[in-house]
Amino acid sequence: MKQDQAELSDFTIGPTSSRSLGSLSRIVREVSLAASLEEVLQVIVVQTRKMMAVDVCSVYLTESNGSHVLMATQGLHPEAVGQVRLIPREGLVGLVAERAEPVNLENAAAHPHFKFIPGSGEEPFQAFLGVPVLHQRKLLGVLVVQQKIARQFDEVDVSFLFTLAAQLGGVIAHARASGVLQKPMGSQNENGPERYLTGIVGAPGVALGKGVVVYSATGLDTVPERQVANIKEEERIFRLAVVHVSQEIQSLGNHLELSLANEYQPLFKAYAMLTGSQSLVEATVERIRAGEWAPSALSTVIKEQARRLEAQEDLYLRERGNDLREIGRRILGYLQNVAPINLEYPENTILIGENLSAMDLAEVPMGRLAGVISAHGSGFSHVAILAHAMGIPAIMGISKANLGQLDQRELILDGYQGRVHLEPSRLVRQEFARLARQEQQLTEELKGLRDLPAETPDGFRVHLYANIGLLADIELSLAAGTEGVGLYRTELLFMVRDQFPTEEEQYAVYRKLLQAFTPSPVVLRVLDVGGDKFLPYFSIEEANPFLGWRGIRVILDHPEIFLTQVRASLRAAEGLSNLNLLFPMISAVSELEEALHIVRRAYEGLVEEGVRVTWPRVGVMIEVPAAVYQVEALARRVDFLSIGTNDLAQYLLAVDRSNERVAELYHSLHPAVLAAILTVVKAARRHHKPVSVCGEMAGEATAAILLLGMGIDNLSLTAGDLPRIKWIIRNFSQQYARELLARALREEKPEPIHKMLCEALDNFGLGELIRGGKTSSPLL
């Protein structure tokens, strides 16, 4: 139950604040030591009754259907716990929940909302004070105190209870997520509500299987610092460990190749190269030569380099930090002579871990892996991407759960709603078994779309491109049927080095990428750093990095960096003519003109040197509101527009999706986001310029319908999402998509838009693209 908590000193509670503050602090401290939801609620009711000197304290928890269930009480009859259930708006508890504000009554029975519940034992109580328990704008329940004497609770009482509820809202939410695992494991849950954990969808699908928890025998944070006398021998041992782990990773890649038809072999080659990379090896050797023993030298270097990656704004790059840590743990295990942990993997294994890596997945024998649960990570992690490729569901970010208690448990993964079902009833197991069979049928049907065009029944053609961050993604993207690269992030090429890559180093990477997809287009986004996306050898420090020196501003201020990258890309495209350059974070026409001037300088310089280069197609990313309002001027100066919906939505809504306090306010179907995208599309049409979407919206089944209705020319998405979006395009006419778009634009909130689009998918028999199976489950 440990959880970050606001400093209690931030709260003031009126004239008796010192007494109340101490009371509140004691309650919160006891709650933090509780091990289950039941213990948390018991602490709340017992201590609150004592501290406020009242006759009754009760906690009602609000269920998903809006009902309020008595879950703990001190003062009412104990047997009423779990039995008293109030429907929405029923009783004084319902009134508190509906208003989401305190209700303070001297004589509760005289109020029109009073609801007498026989057997509860509340007959003699007159005074009533109830406050809502909220967490991130969601009602979790109602906290109530009652007293026999008729009196109005004073301001200190109200403030104390309200403050307690506000402070404990997050703790109860945490307990609700993890405390469900503390329940006895006796009988199956046949009659009660289904228990489940909620996370982030990493890869869609449905799986039924047995949980297997993966853990490491070595930890980077527990290595002691020591000095060595024989420095040469220590360096030799370290280099041998690097070679050993590099070979081990290549072997895992060969094993995985059998089940993925060589689609992901390049990833493991990249891992092996990262294991022996100069930046990793030389930095570690430098510390060894300074007298540090190899394990602590390696641990320090791995953690430093991983933190640089994990501090990035780009989620894709952030996830590479976990890959690096896994490599470090493997090398460390070899150095410390720790035998690897041999796990047993049953049929239909659901692999579970704090920070799973692609290498963990490769350890599972072929044909036995059914699903993946990772406490941390996102849809950009290689685990999620690999799960996409393997056709298995992955649920990420279940960080509040005690994963150890999932080991050897029968689980159900719903990779459409991001749920892990615990103790499922017989009916739910049967329903998900049906969905799993239909999911397999759907996967086979999608494979048949690989070589078919993404064209609507009424003849509108959409080009589907891939987002790529590593060369390892090339094979996977081609296997999914991509028509080119809609976004190649060049940041990683710069970030994995300890100095700027040379023109030749960049040329070699870009050439390989362009050749792999020729004659299909490749959109290369020029270096995009700043914000919290930084290079270890290039310091950027400022008070507000997200609104400061970042994106195109950085490389315009350092034209030598920009010029080198453009020269390398132009040379790499010699004889191929499929290069497209994309400028990020453009907020002014002057920035675009300056960027084009540098491209002109690079082009003319190469021509003078005798290199047979061609002028590339150039485009601008529309990802800040200023670009939306200047889109006409920008469109006149470029060959294409690319809408970065992730950043655009975040700037428009003032929401940082990585901040859990406000993440739920982010919605790609927000009317303001849709209006901004439509503005860009209309401007592109007026100037006869193609327009693409390269954010997450491109891979969302519901959003894709509206983008189709807007007439988007190209969608750039992950390889795993590509077949499903193609299926939508081939089933929805553009005319019908336009009708849905018109209806969406009349709405004022995102929720009814999402509901409308889900119903449209259901009506076309495509509901399985968002839920799994051929029809939606009435049980869920």
Report CA 27 to chain centroid distance, whole Å.
33
Which residue carries 């195109």 as its tokens?
A: 552
What three-state secondary structure class fits 451?
A: coil
- 215 is written with which tokens? 């853990």
535: DSSP letter: B
Cβ burial, residue 503 (10 Å; 0-12/13-18/19+): middle
670 labelled catalytic: no
Question: At 322, phi and psi to the nearest 5?
Answer: -65, -40
Consecutive H or E run containing 208: strand 206-213
Contact (CB, 8 A) for 218 and 329: yes
CA distances 626 to 487, 491, 584, Å, are 22, 24, 13
Longest Cα pair distance anywhere in the chain, in angstroms? Answer: 97
Helix and strand totals (H; E) in the chain: 27, 22
Q: What does 305-368 look like in DSSP terms, one character per residue?
A: HHHHHHT-SSHHHHHHHHHHHHHHHHHHHHHTTPPPP-----TTEEEEESS--HHHHHHSPTT-
Set 174, 421, 463, 694: catalytic member = 694
Q: What does 364-381 look like in DSSP terms, one character per residue?
A: SPTT-EEEEEESS--TTS
- 174 is written with which tokens? 């945490």
3-class SS shares of the chain: helix, strand, coil, % to 5: 50, 15, 35
Beta strands per DSSP E along 639-713:
640-643, 691-693
Closest CA to 572 of 623, 621, 507, 635: 507
545: DSSP letter: G
Q: How far apart are CA 264 and CA 734, in angstroms?
A: 35
530: DSSP letter: B
Set 68, 135, 174, 382: catalytic member = 382
Amino acid at 594: E
Q: How far apart are CA 481 and CA 673, in angstroms?
A: 29
What three-state secondary structure class fits 159?
A: helix
Q: How far apart are CA 585 and CA 621, in angstroms?
A: 6
Residues in the chain: 780
What three-state secondary structure class fits 206?
A: strand
Which residue carries 């685990």 as its tokens?
A: 383
- 54 is written with which tokens? 């009242």
Q: How far apart are CA 500 and CA 538, in angstroms?
A: 9
Residues paired with residue 488 on neighbouring β-strands, in sequence order? 468, 524
Q: How far apart are CA 266 and CA 272, in angstroms?
A: 10
Q: How far apart are CA 474 and CA 263, in angstroms?
A: 9
174 labelled catalytic: no
Closest CA to 220 of 288, 307, 289, 312: 307
Which residue carries 């294409």 as its tokens?
A: 640
Pairing mode, if any, of strands 195-198 and 419-422? antiparallel
- 130 is written with which tokens? 């109830």
Report CA 672 to chain centroid distance, whole Å.
22
Q: How far apart are CA 567 and CA 580, in angstroms?
A: 13
Q: What are the catalytic residues?
A: 382, 694
